[in-house]
Structure 1
Amino acid sequence: MLFRSVCRAVHQHARQPAKQFRRGSGTLVVRSHDWEETMITAKTRLLQSTACAGILLFGLSGTALAEKIEFYPISTDPNDWVVDRYPTASFTRLDTYMGRSNVLALETLGSKAGSNSYYQWEGYSQNTTVPSGDSFIGGDIYVADGWQAGSDTDYIRTSIWGSAMTEKEVATGNYNNNDAVFPIIQFTNRDGQGRLEVWDAGTDNGWVELPETTGLINFSGWNTIDMRLMTDVDEEGNSAVHYYFNNALIYVWEPALSLDDTSPEQFFAMYLKNRNNGVTDFTSHWSRLLSGLLLPEDVNEIGNAPYDVLVANNDAPVTVGAGATIGGTLTSKGTSAYNQVIALQPGAKISDDLILQHSTGNFMSGAGDTATVGGDLYVENGSSTTGGTIENKVNVNGRMFVDDTSKAGGNLNIAGSANSSGRLAPGNSIGTITVGGDLNLASTSVIEAEVDLAGKSDLIAVGGVANLAGAVEVDTIDGYLLDHGYVILTASGGVNGEFASSIPVWDNVDNYAFVAPYLSYDPNSVILTVGRNDRRFASVAETPNQVAVANALETLGDLSPPPTLYENIILKMTADDAPLAYSALSGAIYASGQTVMIDQTQYARDAVYGRLHQAFGGKSTSSVEVMSYAEGRDDMVGGRLIEESAFGAWGYAYGGWSAYDGNANAGKLDSSTGGFLAGIDGSIGDRWRLGVLAGYGYTSFDNKGPASGNTDSYTIGAYSGGEWAAGTAGAVAFRSGMAYTWNTVSADRTVSFPGFYDAMSSDYDAGSFQVFGELAYRYAADENTEVEPYANFSYVGLNSDSFTETGTTAAALSVASESSNTYFSTIGLWAAADFAVMGQAGSEAYFDVGWRHAFGDITPKSTAAFAGSAPFTVSGVPLAENTALIGAGIDFALSQQAKLGFGYIGQFGDGVSQNSINARLNVSF
């Protein structure tokens, strides 16, 4: 794996487009003077040189990490190298060496060579296993111009280079076997001209001089050398090693063509070689010696390091420890797919620059202590910063540069200028960025300004001139003050220019619908004000009810001062939230409650129709329970017996459940009811009966949401009816009645939407009056079966009182009195048959089917007002206009004077369904 010239790249901040190559399982990126390559994601350890101080922290594991990284220098003083043997030693980790613990050192291995060599006692362990696939090793070397010129017969060989071995030869310790050592590059100087020479143990001649490389050598400067192990270079799957010098391919080693045809699959070990044939007056320094899969295991924290540090492509966050000092520049490099996280603990210090690329820089604050950047801060390639406090800002002693893909956030103190093409976001939440020099904003820049309900806001405080461009985005924390001037930027040297728009955009997920932020300028500051825009409340309403509520709320703005409901609630609505708020505020439950009370009047009508139906000796109906005690008289109507009693008493118990689907204007409504009606009647003349009734019912209803109500209903009424023979097998029947019901209503509703909550309750009265009549023709099909076509008509008038809700906010409504007039017409067919139970005749089964039409005020209305607003009218859940009726039941004859019956009634209309059951008892006297 290749890493080249990191320290020079970091110091010079090269910004050239990347040159990328890919081989096998990874990709490698390294920045140098004027080029960049993509780094392979791998595990890397590092070696340091004081000639070009730097640290590479590359490819950290994603597992839990705890131990700090350790750095080991390579000496640049030749006196620190020991003349001993050739080849030189491999790098091996020693637990204890020469009285020093935990030292990485060179271990002397192999046989003595014929010429002297230098090797270092202190070094770096690099034994590794590179899995199948291409990998690289490389480094930088400084070549001095003081090489002594040689002659044709006596020339200088001097080399300082890391080579590699296969796993097999490391295991055997054989460093002289042809399969053991990869070829080595060295410098030569013949006739005053430097050349490169390769020693290949697998060839007959060993040394191969490369005469065309004279122009490649950079004297008195740095040169890059790297080896690239390429696997599967031919159809047989053989490997080759390409040797590059200053980015030029100078030699290709193909092991399969050497004396030993073993084709290595990996770099396994490296060693550092220094060779000199008789002359020691030279200077050569390594800047980097790396292998592609060398990793400091369990490392995620950097302590004190007197070098440049590069953190790249790590799978886990890396921390600069509390109080630690990085002696050079810290560079953090992620990728577009992975954002590298670098965290600076309290008191951490970077002596030079901090460069963030595809990275997040977290500045952590402690008690009175924060991080310091000694040089410039670069936020690039989708990076961001956070941290610091208003009291303990992150100190940047140089300048700050933010590109158009990145964001600088947190509480920062920039000593120099700040230059941004991206986003500046002071604090988190309210915070400050202080700039000692000028602020220079590009057209792509954005200022993110947060404001709160206490009147505070983010601030960029500039010591020089603020050169404005770009845009402003506004976000709220817990709200905002209407018409309050928030100062978001000050500039001691003056404000130059303006932002692109005087109306910033909201940075909230959903923008406020009815207010807008506005910018204004004075010579030394920029002021942000949030005020009412020209958008009407009703413009975002989605239903007629919502429009009505919105228009009423709009009138609250005419009050001075506007009430809380207007200023602090409605003016904080988004376009999505406002319709929901309108519905919650509407009080439509009071209109829907009228539908329930009108529908409940049917139980009294059913009871009366059933009683009169049975009182004249007919079969049971779908809705009556009769008791009668009296002497009867027998007449024949159409050949059938009519039993009329002088007096009768009846009772009717019922329970029912209704579901209203509602519509786009009014939501769903459910109700349930239960009650009891009783009556007594007697004969008037030969063919008429007159009676009275009374009853009690309880009904509850809710709108599948935050509103519900209940009624206690008390009913009194009177009824009459008569029958006349018509033909030999039938009779004409007329039935009628009237009733009045007192309804005591209690309702509760909760108003809840973003930023607001209140619970309201109310108690009020409502009364319903009804009159009804039915005309039927009863026909005896045979002695056991009877059918009856019928038609009826009814009127229901409902009046409700005015009232005011109790609540804690202006959302409480004052509701006006209401009245409505509704009409129902029904046609149907009823049929019954006699049967005997245990020898007792007179039991009956019946079936009823019909169609009902409602007209008049079938959509209830409710008019209300907020405190100080204009009144508004909303609609509730409508009555079903057309309904199918189905009834069935059975009556058992307990004796000649008593019957007990049970029945079912179903009503099904467009969006409405009602199901009820009843029980009846009849005794005559």
Structure 2
Amino acid sequence: MAPSLLPVTVDEGAVEINGFQVSHPSDNAIVGTTSGKQASLVISNGGTLENLRGIVGDVAGSEGEVLVTGPNSAWNNIERLIVGNDGVGTLSIEKGAKVTSGPFSAVGWGAGSVGNATITGTGSHWSFDYAMDIGSGGKGTMTIADGGALSGDDLFVGYDTDGQGSLLLKDKGSSIDVNEFYVGFYGKADVKVENGAELKSALIRLATQAGSEGLLEVSGKGTVVTTGPILAGTSGKSDIIVRDGGALNTNSLRMGILAGSNSSVTISGSNAKLNADEIWFGNGKSTLDFHHNNELYEFSGKLISKHIDGNTWKDGITVGTHELHQSSGKTLLSGDNSLFQGKTYVEGGTLLIGNKLGGDVLVSGGGALGGSGAIGTTDALSTVTIASGGILAPGNLNGGLTINGDLIFAAGSSYQVNVDPKSNASDHVYVSGKASLNGGSVLHVGASGNYNPFSTYRILTVGNELTGAFNGVTSNFAFLTPELIYDYAKKTVDLKLSRNDMKFANKAMTANQRSLAGALDTLKADGNALYTALVTLGDDQATIQSSFDALSGEVHASAKSALIENTLLTQNAITNRLRSAFNEPVATPPIEPLGYGPERKQPTAFNSVVDKDRVAATYGGWAQAYGHWLKQDGNSNVGEFSASSGGFVAGIDNTIADSWRVGVLAGYGQTSFHSNDRASSGNSDNYTLGAYAGSQWAMSHGVLAFSSGIAYTWHQLETERSVAFNGFSDRLNADYDAGSLVAFGELGYKIAAGRSTFEPYANLTNVYHKTNGFNETGNTLAALNVDSDKTNTVFTTLGLRAATTLDLGNISPKARADIGWRHAYGDVDSESSARFTGSDIFTVGGTPVAKDVATLEAGLDFNLLPSTVLGVAYTGQFAKDVKQNGFNVKLAVSF
């Protein structure tokens, strides 16, 4: 049989139109004509079918299925297309296929029928003329996904009384474009638009006839429903839900139009948006519920109570039940809602009135009412009731709320007040009628800023009558006590803030904080911005402690320990130089002579261990560059502190009395330091002068070596620190001088063992450090006047040096190592004593000098030329909460 003559009625079995065209414009295509039988039709690979009418699942008990798949595959119905006439019908349009139908189409037509339609894949499309029912008299289901599309004139979901329609439109690129969209005409409808899909319509009607039910849910990021007017609940029950990123755009949403209807609109989840120029509340029951979790959701449309008289809508008259619910999240009503005459229930979250709102308001169950607009009008007075658990929080920071009508505070309610730290302005409520204070409490919530702790703030003004009182008032301030002042004659309530007897020191937790807070308690209150900022701190322990730490100037104490550590680098340089000068065999010295004078014979006492072919110089010059990085962990009392130092030391020395080497040195370095925990930093330029001497004596099994030195370092310091808390801020700077005197002596005993040598040693070092007094500069009274200070710290070190010569063919580098234990005595806890202008003195501690430290050095020295040595070394010091690392590269040339 020729393809064009292929029959289009399929009683049972399968028929496929695969890549060719079939045309019967005067005949109907019926798939599934016999009860108890299954029939299917597949149109694929560019095949097409044209017929007069299409029916899938014609009679009760029959099952029909049609699949139209692939690009250029098409089914053209000149007139109607029914999927599920009285039987079960299934239509699948996929992978870019097209289906068209003329006047009137249906999915689930007859009573008891079941119709299922799916449109999936980019380019897949069903276009219809005049009207389409999904769930006309039976059960109809349609799914449009993955870029599928439906377009036509009027679309009905749940048309007849027994009709049940379900429509799912999902995924980005999927769309519906119709003229009018009916969700529950006589029957029941469930429509969901989600996951980035788009629906466009000139008009949407939900629950049109009595007994009908319609649900429209819009959800997911990028999901958009755009329409002209929405008539929600003309006579039936309608629900609109916009949630989780979905958007519903309409110029007019009309709810609960006729008496007996019930309409609800809910905005839920996060980032959902209802864009409506106006919302009308009609003769039925209408509920608008903000049930989201946004930080701030703004609705700018107008809420209008209307009633319909015949075909005429009239404003401002309440016939039906009009309800506005605030269930969760924070919602700002910024439109003019003065014509709303229903009732507002604030049951959770916060409702802010940014413009006008008519009708009565009930706040309960932890809900909060705020804003700086007006509730009620002079023509239509409102009653605002703050029930138990409800909160009135006027303003959106220091604004006023007007109530044209009456205000009632019930027992268990709360009134939250913010006051302006820079003036006497505060959150305020004006009540034109009567204010009944039947208990409840006032909570003062302080915003960031320097409050005037001795001011009075007006929080309530009443036009008609003020009765009753609040049960009490509390504040979140740690150092201020609030008090309410009632003037029943003037019909006002004021809030007064006064200094309580809580001392700053009572809120301190650490030694530094207690010392500082004790000094702060001696400040005078009058005109002192620092004192004002402190007494208006909220009662939050962490905030109070961080404020004390910011003021302490701890960096000045911690800098001392860093500079004391820095002086030990000079001591190490002297020790290394003296070992080099005596041609020390333990290791190629870290410092090589830069030049020698006339040769002189080595003393006889050294001949047993010293290379006789190498002769010490009469005089010599030397230089060493150094660098290290120090990190000290913080604890509950002090913050973490880091420092880095770099510089050089150079000297000249001479041999006297045959066995003594005596010299002088000079050096320059810079130390940078910071404490992120205290927002502080600084640097020091260090200038050093010193002298040293040493000798060696041959013993029976080795050599006894002695080294000693003394050096003084001038420190020129600059510091900067930031103080910021509770609206108070300043940047404080200081320039001051300090000095460090280091003196040491060391004994070592060197023993040769083949190509290796070992030297146990003991070192005694004393560091005297003095800091001059200075004054910080800044713009506030947070600047410190710091006293001069002296410390004396003694270090003992016991250690072992070892070295060996490696045989690597043409080169013979020396590997060297030094390990020791250093202990500190005396003034190991760095402290700084200071005062604020007008306060007593206080002392704070900084990061201490480590008491017990493991010292480590490891390096390699290469003789590149007879007179040139390249050395690479690592140095480290490790203690509890302290890490210090250094990396040295040296190039020494002798001539």
| TM-score, scaled to structure 2 | 0.64
Q: Give the conservation status (yes or no) of the 8 Å contact 2:136–2:164.
A: no
Specify the alignment match of 1:693 in structure 2: 665
Equivalent residue for 2:716?
A: 744
Give CA deviations for 1:682-734 in whole Å, capped at 9, x if unaligned. 1221322211111111221111352111111111111111222211x312222
Question: In the alignment, which residue of structure 1 is the partner of 2:844?
Answer: 874
Counterpart residue number, 1:331: 286
Structure 1 residue 823 corresponds to structure 2 residue 823: no
Gap change, CA 1:427 and 1:395, over 3 Å in 2: farther
**Counterpart in 2 of 1:302?**
253
1:504 partner SS = strand
Match status 1:420 vs 2:420: no
Q: Is residue 496 from structure 1 mapped to residue 458 from structure 2 by the alignment?
A: no
Deviation of 1:766 (Å): 0.8
* Matching of residue 806 in structure 1 with residue 771 in structure 2: no
How far did 1:769 drift? 0.4
**Residues 181-240 of structure 1 deviation map (CA, whole Å, 9 limit, x = unaligned):** xxxxxxxxxxxxxxxxxxxxxxxxxxxxxxxxxxxxxxxxxxxxxx999xxxxxxxxxxx
Letter of the 1:613 counterpart: R
Given that residues 736 and 773 in structure 2 are in contact (C-alpha distance below 8 angstroms), is that contact kept between their aligned partners in structure 1?
yes
Kindly state the Cα deviation for residue 906 of structure 1 after the two structures are TM-superposed. 1.7
The residue type paired with residue 718 of structure 1 is: A
- Out of 856, 862, 882, which is 1:912 matched to? 882
Give secondary structure in 2 for the equivalent of 1:517: strand
Shift of 1:891: 3.9
> What residue is the counterpart of 2:441 in the other structure?
471
What one-letter code is carried by the residue in structure 1 that aligns with 2:757?
E
Match of 2:644, as an amino acid? S
- The 1:438–1:898 alpha-carbon spacing in structure 2 relative to 1, beyond 3 Å, is closer
Question: 1:71-109 CA deviation, whole Å, 9 max, x = no partner?
Answer: xxxxxxxxxxxxxxxxxxxxxxxxxxxxxxxxxxxxxxx
Q: 1:441 to 1:604 in 2, by over 3 A?
A: closer
Contact 2:234 2:258 in 1 (8 A): no
2:325 is the alignment partner of 1:351: no
**Structure 1 131/816 Cα, relative in aligned 2: closer, same or farther at 3 Å?**
farther
Distance between the aligned counterparts of 1:690 and 1:666, measured in 2? 43
> For the pair shown, which has the larger CA radius of gyration, 1 or 2?
1
Structure 2 runs not aligned, ≥5 long: 1-109, 111-130, 142-158, 166-185, 189-206, 212-232, 243-247, 306-314
Cα separation, partners in 2 of 1:898 and 1:460, compared to 1, 3 Å: same
- Deviation of the 1:448 alpha carbon: 2.8
Aligned to 1:857: 827
| 1:532 alignment partner, one of 496, 499, 524 | 499
- 1:164 is matched with 161
Q: Does 1:612 align with 2:578?
A: yes
1:552 corresponds to which residue? 519
TM-score, length-scaled by structure 1: 0.62
1:3-22 equivalences under 5 Å are none
Partner deviation per Cα, 1:159-183 (whole Å, 9 max, x = no partner): xxx9835689xxxxxxxxxxxxxxx
User: Is 1:129 the counterpart of 2:135 in the alignment?
Assistant: yes
Matched residue SS, 2:747: strand
Residue 539 of structure 1 aligns with an amino acid whose one-letter code is: N
Distance in 2 between residues matched to 1:311 and 1:299, nearest whole Å = 16
Q: How far apart are 1:384 and its partner, in Å?
A: 6.2
Report how far residue 130 of structure 1 moved: 8.3
Within the candidate set 726, 732, 735, 2:704 is matched to: 732
1:680–1:394 CA distance, 2 compared to 1 (3 A): same
Q: Distance in 2 between matches of 1:924 and 1:325?
A: 98
Of the candidates 491, 507, 510, which is equivalent to residue 543 of structure 1?
510
Match among 588, 613, 628 for residue 554 of structure 2:
588
Does the 8 Å CA contact 2:446/2:477 hold for their aligned counterparts? Answer: no
User: 2-side partners of 1:855 and 1:437: how far apart?
Assistant: 78
User: How do residues 269-288 of structure 1 correspond to structure 2 at under 5 angstroms?
Assistant: none
State the Cα distance separating 1:565 from its structure 2 match: 1.1
- Looking at structure 2, the residues matched to 335 and 363 of structure 1 have their Cα atoms a distance apart, in angstroms, of 10
Q: Is contact 1:310–1:333 with CA below 8 Å preserved after alignment?
A: no
**Structure 1 residues 839 and 354: alpha-carbon distance in aligned structure 2, compared to 1, 3 A threshold:** closer
The 3-state SS of whatever aligns with 1:681 is strand
Q: Distance in 1 between matches of 2:642 and 2:240?
A: 71
Distance 1:326 1:789, change over 3 A: closer
Residue 707 (str. 1) matches residue 676 (str. 2):
no
8 Å CA contact 2:705–2:750 kept in 1: the answer is yes
Which residue of the partner structure matches residue 104 of structure 1?
none
**What is the letter of the counterpart of residue 611 of structure 1?**
R
- 1:781 matched to 2:753? The reply is yes
> Cα 1:295–1:416, aligned 2, differ >3 Å: closer, same or farther?
closer
Q: Distance in 2 between matches of 1:845 and 1:130?
A: 95
Cα distance in structure 2, aligned partners of 1:873 and 1:295: 63
**SS where residue 577 of structure 1 aligns?**
helix
Which amino acid letter does the alignment assign opposite residue 868 of structure 1? G
Alignment equivalent of 2:608, drawn from 630, 636, 639: 639
1:312 aligns with 2:281: no
> What's the offset of the Cα at 1:439?
3.7
Partner Cα separation in structure 2 for residue 363 and residue 744 of structure 1 = 58
1:656 is matched with which residue?
628
CA contact (8 A) 1:570 1:578 kept: no
Q: Tell me if 1:448 matches 2:448.
A: no
Partner-residue secondary structure (3-state), 2:536 = helix
Change (3 A) 1:885 1:426: closer
Distance 1:167 1:310 in 2: 19
* TM-aligned CA distance change 1:897 to 1:645, over 3 Å: farther
Measured after TM superposition, the shift of residue 450 of structure 1 is: 3.0
Closer, same or farther: CA 165–298 of 1 in aligned 2, 3 Å: farther
C-alpha distance in 2 between matches for 1:359 and 1:350: 25
User: Can you list the C-alpha shifts for 1:724-782, whole angstroms capped at 9, x where unaligned?
Assistant: 2211x312222111000111111122223342332222211111001100011122223
Report the Cα distance in structure 1 between the residues aligned to 2:663 and 2:707, rounded to whole angstroms: 11
Q: Distance in 1 between matches of 2:440 and 2:133?
A: 54
Give, as a single letter, the amino acid of the residue that structure 2 aligns with 1:544.
A
Alpha-carbon distance change, 317 to 720 in structure 1, aligned in 2, over 3 angstroms: closer
Change (3 A) 1:359 1:311: farther
Partner of 1:665, secondary structure, is coil
1:657 & 1:430 partners in 2: Cα distance?
51
- Cα deviation, residue 825, structure 1: 0.3
CA distance in 1, matches of 2:240, 2:694: 105
CA distance 1:342–1:571, change in 2 (3 Å): closer
Secondary structure at the residue paired with 1:734? strand
Question: Using the alignment, how far apart are the partners of 2:234 and 2:864 within structure 1?
Answer: 110
Match of 2:478 in 1: 513
Query: CA 1:388/1:890 → structure 2, altered by over 3 Å: closer, same or farther?
Result: closer
User: 1:525 & 1:293 partners in 2: Cα distance?
Assistant: 45
In the TM superposition, what is the alpha-carbon distance from 1:499 to its structure 2 partner? 1.3
- By how many angstroms is 1:667 displaced? 1.6
Structure 1 residues 373 and 623 mapped into 2: Cα distance closer, same or farther (>3 Å)? same
Q: How does 1:838-849 map to 2 (within 5 A)?
A: 844-849=814-819
Check the 8 A contact 1:751/1:759 in 2, yes or no. Answer: yes
Distance 1:424 1:330, change over 3 A: farther
Query: 728, 731, 734: which is aligned to 1:756?
Result: 728
The alignment covers a number of residue pairs equal to: 649
SS in 1 for 2:560: helix
Structure with the bigger RCO (C-alpha within 8 Å, sep 6+) is 1
Matched, 1:767 2:739: yes
| Counterpart-to-counterpart distance in 2, 1:163 and 1:439 | 50
CA distance in 2, matches of 1:628, 1:167: 105
Within 2, Cα distance between the matches of 1:545 and 1:131? Answer: 82
Identity of aligned residues (%): 34
Q: Does the 8 Å CA contact 2:342/2:358 hold for their aligned counterparts?
A: no
- CA–CA distance in 1 between the matches of 2:860 and 2:332? 83
Structure-2 residue corresponding to 1:3 = none
Distance 1:855 1:331 in 2: 82
- Structure 1 counterpart of 2:396, one-letter code: N
One-letter amino acid matched to 2:252: E
